[in-house]
Amino acid sequence: MRIRPSAWAVLVVGTALACSRTPDPSALLEDRARYQVELVSWVARPDGRIAATLRVRGPVRTRLDRLTVEIVRFGWGGERIGSDWVSLELGERPSGLTVEKVVVLPGEPMPEALGVDLHAHPAPEILSRLKELQPPSSR
């Protein structure tokens, strides 16, 4: 059986398009929900900023190259006084293993406590903050 050159072109272009396709946002949201992120520790640095250590656990197979989380600041009475959104690169994470990441945050307002919120099932107003859902060119 002989394949015409035009058929080869269709096969090659079709394969390239299938490989370069951006994952469906709902599939990425499913992957996000399978992650666990916990705040291990945090410390005020001498320069006035905050260094927070996050432990990231994720699935063996994932379509995500980054994971965006919200770090929430709490005041003396337990009230929420602010938050910071951070995007964690997952590329260097060995697939399926737990890793710790250190993020540096601005020092103001200085919190009494920190918390982390993955927003595993994000509300519509949160979706625009999730860098993993944005095209690579706009990150």
Rounded Cα distance between 44 and 27, Å, is 37
CB atoms within 10 A of CB 113: 13
5: left (phi > 0), else alpha (psi -120 to 50), else beta? alpha
pLDDT at 55: 94
Q: Over the stretch 33-56, which tens digit does the pLDDT of each residue have?
A: 999 999 999 999 999 999 999 999
Q: Over the stretch 76-114, which tens digit does the pLDDT of each residue have?
A: 999 999 999 999 988 765 556 788 999 999 999 999 999
For range 54-73, the mean pLDDT? 90
pLDDT above 90 (res 19): no
Work out the angle at residue 108's Cα, subtended by the Cα atoms of residues 88 and 84, and round it to the nearest 5 degrees.
25
CB atoms within 10 A of CB 90: 19
Rounded Cα distance between 45 and 103, Å, is 12
Local structure of residue 77 (DSSP, 8 states): T
Half-sphere exposure of 20 (CA within 13 A, CB side): 6
Give the chain's length.
139
For range 3-31, the mean pLDDT? 59
